[in-house]
Amino acid sequence: MKTYQFPEGFLWGGATAANQIEGGFREGNKGLNIADVLPGGKGRLKVLLEPGFNFEVNKEKYTYPNHEAIDFYHRYKEDIALFAEMGFKVFRMSIAWTRIFPNGNELEANEEGLAFYDRVFDELYKNGIEPVVTISHYEMPVNLVKKYGGWRSREVVTFFERYVTTIFNRYKGKVKYWMTFNEINSGLEFPIMGLGFAIKEESDKYQSTFQAYHHQFVASGIAVKLCREMMPDAKIGCMILYAPVYPYDCSPENVMYALEESRLFNYFCGDVQVRGEYPAFIKRYFKEHNIQLEIQEGDLELIKENTVDYIGFSYYMSRTEKIDKKPMDMGQGNILGGVINPFLKASDWGWAIDPLGLRITLNELYDRYRIPLFIVENGLGAKDEVAPDGTINDDYRIDYLRNHIKAMGEAIEDGVELMGYTPWGCIDLVSMSTGEMSKRYGFIFVDKQDDGSGTLERKKKKSFFWYKDVIATNGGKL
């Protein structure tokens, strides 16, 4: 079997987000964020469209899986010890904005929240693990959503700047790798998570969405600038949800359509954050959809001068497109749309499994941007069973990850500069799109069920031991 060479110092690890692991949703003066008011269940991203949804907690009507999540808030020491046992070099996590500024717009930061992340970072260092921190991972303060309409409002940029200045100041000696907005482009598909608003009106689809993006790009420019000034040794990246878009067939119309879809979804945000300017294709799109951005003096210079150091991205699936798709062509559960690709199998949630697509992605991104890449999410959501002897034999997960790591090895041979790999949900956590616990990604099983029951006990799956070997051999043994 072919073996692969990964660069020395390759950043092997795992990835999570505060709202999906911490729990303690009201502890330490934490305020409510978007994830706290999203009920559990498959339709959770759609519930916002229900008339009268008011971004409040209504426990009579709904359950809220993020409120307790997997209780990392109290169990972080145990979890970090398990990550260290696997040999993690890095751990991707996020800071919950609402632990630091409970309402998002206070003048003073919340010391209890700041102290919590100090404890987590210290514990990571004690275990030889470097944190990789996402500044904003689908955790916008509810107050900013209700009062300001999320990123629609320019004022949110000021609040974000205060939040970023505070955490940079506090953690500047402790965090070397930062990322601004998780899956920034996802707002085009599910705007509530990243942009802080539901698509309700026609203007939200075009005008408000892209105005909100402009505000995020300015916010990102500010974060990069502050990072350079305050932490000259740190690296700061963007974070993109990447899914290569294949044309369904070789008809030039479908090829062009796939190209347009890919540019809008995969490249629009990257072009602004990496190249520092709005690309020509988006200017045409703005014209065609009558979008007029309000741009303040200095915004474009700020964006141009403060581009990111690396590209963090998530990769779960590819997408296949044709212009005249009919409902019967479309897959079940493919969160990004598109038609069924007859060459690929899909996960139980209908996400197309495509390891070669990862090699394609790495090459496409590197060809376009020529800066280091970091795969900060990848993995298989699956239902795991605990056997009567207590073991969890997740060979399907090992297969999935092995094939994706091989694709990374090939891309490195192609010449791609890849910094690291942090598979998603290295410990079972609450699923973003469904709010379920039973959609599991982890190397570590957490005894918690969809209805909230369970002891929260942690158990090592078979993949735990496999991944430990992968890291120990720097990808030599897959």
Which positions are annotated as active-site residues? 377
**CA dist 12 → 129, 179, 375, 398 (Å):** 10, 17, 10, 15
Nearer to ligand BGP, 88 or 138 (CB): 138
Nearer to ligand BGP, 211 or 334 (CB): 334
Minimum distance from residue 414 beta carbon to ligand BGP (Å): 26
Minimum distance from residue 290 beta carbon to ligand BGP (Å): 30
Nearer to ligand BGP, 247 or 381 (CB): 381
CB 134 within 8 A of CB 182: yes
Question: How far is residue 101's CA from residue 141's CA, in Å, rounded to a whole number?
Answer: 8
Minimum distance from residue 437 beta carbon to ligand BGP (Å): 10
Nearer to ligand BGP, 161 or 189 (CB): 189
Nearer to ligand BGP, 155 or 189 (CB): 189
Closest CA to 337 of 245, 213, 424: 245
Closest CA to 139 of 80, 172, 93, 207: 93
Minimum distance from residue 187 beta carbon to ligand BGP (Å): 12
Minimum distance from residue 152 beta carbon to ligand BGP (Å): 22
Cβ atoms within 10 Å of 356's Cβ, excluding its own: 16
Task: Calculate ∠ Cα 357-360-366, nearest 5°.
Answer: 140
CB 157 within 8 A of CB 140: no
Nearer to ligand BGP, 210 or 242 (CB): 242
CB 247 within 8 A of CB 257: yes
If you search the block for the tokens 């999410």, which residue do you land on? Answer: 377
Minimum distance from residue 95 beta carbon to ligand BGP (Å): 14
For residue 92, what is the enclosing H or E element? strand 90-94
Give the single-character DSSP code of 426.
Answer: S
Closest CA to 419 of 320, 330, 313: 313
Question: How far is residue 290's CA from residue 207's CA, in Å, rounded to a whole number?
Answer: 8
Closest CA to 33 of 89, 112, 95, 97: 97
Minimum distance from residue 377 beta carbon to ligand BGP (Å): 6
Residue type, 74: H
If you search the block for the tokens 């598109």, which residue do you land on? Answer: 338
Binding site for ligand BGP (CB under 6 A): 17, 20, 138, 182-183, 241, 314, 377, 381, 424, 431-434, 439
- The structure tokens listed for 195 are 């942009």
Tell the burial category of 400 from Cβ atoms under 10 Å away from its Cβ (0-12, 13-18, 19+).
buried
CB 198 within 8 A of CB 189: no
Tell the burial category of 119 from Cβ atoms under 10 Å away from its Cβ (0-12, 13-18, 19+).
exposed
Nearer to ligand BGP, 185 or 341 (CB): 185
Question: How far is residue 106's CA from residue 156's CA, in Å, rounded to a whole number?
Answer: 12
Nearer to ligand BGP, 130 or 183 (CB): 183
Minimum distance from residue 155 beta carbon to ligand BGP (Å): 26
Closest CA to 266 of 245, 287, 291, 237: 245
Backbone torsions φ then ψ of 89, nearest 5 degrees:
-90, -35
**CA dist 310 → 97, 270, 276, 333, 373 (Å):** 23, 10, 13, 31, 6
Nearer to ligand BGP, 83 or 257 (CB): 83
Minimum distance from residue 444 beta carbon to ligand BGP (Å): 16
